[in-house]
Chain A
Amino acid sequence: MSDPREPQNQEVNPPREGVLREGMAAILAEALRQKGAEGAEQIVVGEIKSDQQAAVIAADRAVGNVVQGASAEQQAAGNEINQGFKNQVGAASAEAEAKVHQATSGAKNKGPETAPAEAPADLEKDRLDAKSRIAERTQRLHVLSSELDAAIKLEKNGKTPARTSDQIRQEGSALLDENEKDEEKIRGVDAALGPKTAPAPDARQPRPARQASPRPEAKPQVEKPPQRVRSREELSHERDARITLGNEINNDLQHLAEELERAEQMEREGKNPPRSSQTIRAEGQLLVRRGRENADAVRAINAELAPGNDPGKAPQAASRPDAKPPAPKPPEKPAPQPQNPEKKEIRAETAEDMMNVLQDLRKDRLGDWERYQQAENERVHVEKVLQDAYVNLGQQINPEKAKDVIRVFKPKKEALAREMASLEQNPKVQERIARRKAAKTESETREDLANKLEGAVKDVVGAEIKLAEVKKGEEALMNEVAMFRKQGSQTLGWAIAILNHDDYNAKSTIKPEELERNFPNAAIIMRSLENKRAGTKDARKRNIIESVLQGGGIFQKLTDAEASLDSYRKKEASGTAAAEKKIAEAAETIKHAVQSAMILEYSVADGEKEVVESAQRLPGDLVARLGKYVGVDSSLKKDDGKSAEEAAKRKPGYARLKVIYDQTVNILEGKPDPDAEDVPPPGGAGPRAESNPDTPEAAYREFLEGSDNLIERLRIEKEEIGNMSYDEKEEKAFESIRFFEEEVIPDISGEWEGLIEGVIAGEVPDGGAEGMNRILAIIRGMEEIVQELGGESSSLERLPQEMLARLGERIDIDPSLGRRERDKLAAKAEKQHALHGHSDAVRLYNVLKLEVEGEDPSLMGRIGRLAKSAKSLWPKKKGHSSHH
């Protein structure tokens, strides 16, 4: 057997482990000497039980915290995890107990060197053990109650819980039965110990028969060792170990006191704390019991070490009122901590006692901290007074008085600093200071982040309003242009007829809608008419052209309106770009705020439990605040009978905010966000990733930029065509179509393919949404040019179909099938989750399919109409433009 004193787990807490091991060995050796193997077995088994109990309580607490407010299924899952843990711990505990039993059974028969008569302390221990078991079962019953609720809910919903409600009830019932037996036992012991309640001692007591004697006092007395006198060194060693243990127990109790305080407060407010005050008190009682036993043992040692027993050595303190010892002074080395368990007479027979003990501890604990806070406040005041006095002295306002003040307050400041330094020695005060500091930093950072988020969201809204205004202004001018066109439709119709057909007698040979669609620019028509007039020798025809040109001044009005619109568009382009930029920046800020918030969670959190709690809390807050702007606000539920989303959609910037919101949720869900490569993942502060131009994200960004350039080129092309004469356009039409077919279409087809690959591989940040928008914008750009030219658009009609077929291929749908068949397959595949991992591609496919099928008439519908009108306008050119 290896020497148990040898440290086995240095990295955990080596000094403490060593001391505890030594101390425990000393305690057990002494127990073996005094009470034999059975006494030692009881101690070790007690330790095992106690650890088991503490682990179970901690497990319940941990799961309770996590599943608070979760669904019934999740609560059931939590309970199941706990049950599994408890079973494992129970098994480990049973195994250890068996080993202990085996190790001691050989020695049991021999018994202690001097078999002691069973002391009242033994019976008292039985009683406490029984109470401890009752508390343990009560705790378990508490857990079972939640489990039962969850199981009943599940059963009501037709689901099968991990354990049925009947099974849970059975366990509960068995526990209650056991409790009754223990209560009976307690009554028996009470009777044996004194005239308290029941008459006769319980025959089931496992201890050997003993002479019932009146209980000397409620608190158990540890018998002095009857025969063997331990060496001073051994006693001192054990005492140190016990003092360390006592301090640990006290620390735990102080934490419990804090938790109890919070739980009581919550219960007063009608809320459900993670653990009820009753449960906390039960745990406290167990701890108090251990503390009391430990304190008793220390007292016994102190008595042994007392001057009368061991003259010439330093006396030890005992807090019992009758002991009246001199001031505590450890004999060889100072106690590990200023507190020691014998300081307080710890007893907790009832929950009320437990409360009192905890309150006393709380007072002690707060004593130093409160003094520290007072000193701190006072120091602020003193510093202010001194500061004023120095200013007074510097400015010679009333130097004598200032000197007096300094004389009095300077020592006071120093005294306060000394007092604070002294109080800071108390670990509890240190802990409080650290906690306060962390809380302050955390709350400032949280507030800062939340403000940033809100500011960014407001920026988005502001920029969207600006964009809406621009759009509104543009619409007003467009309406003006349309109005003049309508007013002058007859005049314009004459002009077109004259220009197209040399029909000088026509009243109006062109329909208003055709005019609307094909009338490119008033200035061009006017110039063409002027040219025509100049080239016409026939005076009558010249007069007709002149009268058309003069017709109500409509050309001039229209030209002016169109010029205003053009100028407005140019002027607002920069404003729009600025607003767009602002929005993009705000989106970035929001994203970083959320990510920083998550990092903050993991960096400030002190311990695993806090990580869990705060990770649930803060991003939730941020998302809620952001959600408010995208229509999650419950106040939007009713708005003129419309749904909240419809109401939210009317708010400026809804669509954009929704995208940001979705991205935020993705970030929180841990989905890959290629834009966030410079932010470490939550929970790990890994090195920041360098931006790699070869990454799919970078390629995607490059593609977006390239598309923007192409869109801009198409826009310029369209503008140029808009200013061309009829003849110029005719020539330009072939050039443009060549440009489309040779450059634009192959280019975007290639990009399209890359985009789909990126979507399927999950490498595209937004599921390809932006990329698809760009491609559609390019198609629309081409469409608008075709519109300007009035030419054919068959290649454009074909393009999305080809794209769709390629996309269909990518998502494992046979392109040789008809569309209906492919759609059926796609739907089926989606249903069966056969396309797992391809969901983004499927979504993209479906969106584009809608476009192609003309559900959005903005694209294909218009192209179709254009093709028809172009054919009617250019019958002789039919077929030339789409092939080369």
Chain B
Amino acid sequence: MDDAKDPRGKANQLVAILEEFRSKLRDLKKSHWQEIEKLNQEIIKERLKKTLQEIQKL
């Protein structure tokens, strides 16, 4: 197929690839955020535990 003659079709194909990539990226971002959130919860817990231990050590 002659892309030069059908630039719109080729452009649409490229846009589809780009959108597929962006969709994948969104999913990755979401799971990344979930992992960070999990780590964050651990950090918060850790901090609270440390505070508690500090008191118990006193």
B and A form one assembly: yes
A627 near B10 with CB under 8 A, answer no
Known: A1-B12, A99-B17, A103-B17. A77 touches B39 (CB 8 A): yes
Give A633 Cβ to nearest chain B Cβ, in Å: 10
Of chain B, the residue at the smallest CB distance from A71 is B46
B54 near A632 with CB under 8 A, answer yes
B32 near A59 with CB under 8 A, answer yes
A631 near B43 with CB under 8 A, answer no
Give A157 Cβ to nearest chain B Cβ, in Å: 17
| A113: Cβ under 8 A from any B Cβ | yes
Q: B39 — which chain A residues lie within 8 A by C-beta?
A: 63, 66-67, 74, 77-78, 81
B58 near A644 with CB under 8 A, answer yes
B17 near A63 with CB under 8 A, answer no
Give A702 Cβ to nearest chain B Cβ, in Å: 30
| A112: Cβ under 8 A from any B Cβ | yes
User: How many B residues are at the interface, by size bracket?
Assistant: 35 or more
B36 near A81 with CB under 8 A, answer yes
A4 near B21 with CB under 8 A, answer no
Which residues of A, 10-51, contact B by the 8 Å Cβ criterion?
21, 24-33, 36-37, 40-41, 44, 47-48, 51
Known: A620-B47, A623-B51, A669-B48. A100 touches B23 (CB 8 A): no
A51 near B21 with CB under 8 A, answer yes
Which of these, B11, B24, B36, B42, contacts A63 with CB under 8 Å?
A: B36
Would you call the interface of chain A mostly helix, strand, loop, or mixed? helix
Which of these, A40, A66, A106, A665, contacts B36 with CB under 8 Å?
A: A66
Known: A33-B4, A81-B32. A3 touches B20 (CB 8 A): no
B25 near A3 with CB under 8 A, answer no
A273 and B41 CA atoms in complex are apart in Å by 21
| A866: Cβ under 8 A from any B Cβ | no
A25 near B8 with CB under 8 A, answer yes
Q: A71 — which chain B residues lie within 8 A by C-beta?
A: 46
A32 near B36 with CB under 8 A, answer no
A665 near B18 with CB under 8 A, answer no
Q: Give the A interface residue count (CB, 8 A).
A: 79
Of chain B, the residue at the smallest CB distance from A630 is B55
| A196: Cβ under 8 A from any B Cβ | no
A55 near B4 with CB under 8 A, answer no
A92 and B27 CA atoms in complex are apart in Å by 11
B44 near A100 with CB under 8 A, answer no
Identify which of B14, B18, B21 gathers the most chain A CB atoms within 10 Å of its CB.
B14
B11 near A32 with CB under 8 A, answer yes
A5 and B18 CA atoms in complex are apart in Å by 12
Which of these, B15, B24, B42, B58, contacts A21 with CB under 8 Å?
A: B15
Identify which of A4, A8, A47, A644 gathers the most chain B CB atoms within 10 Å of its CB.
A4
**27 pairs from A and B in contact (CB 8 Å cutoff):** A1-B12, A4-B15, A9-B23, A25-B11, A28-B7, A28-B10, A28-B11, A28-B14, A32-B7, A33-B7, A37-B3, A55-B25, A62-B36, A71-B46, A74-B39, A78-B36, A84-B35, A92-B28, A93-B21, A96-B18, A100-B17, A616-B40, A616-B47, A631-B55, A643-B58, A648-B58, A669-B48
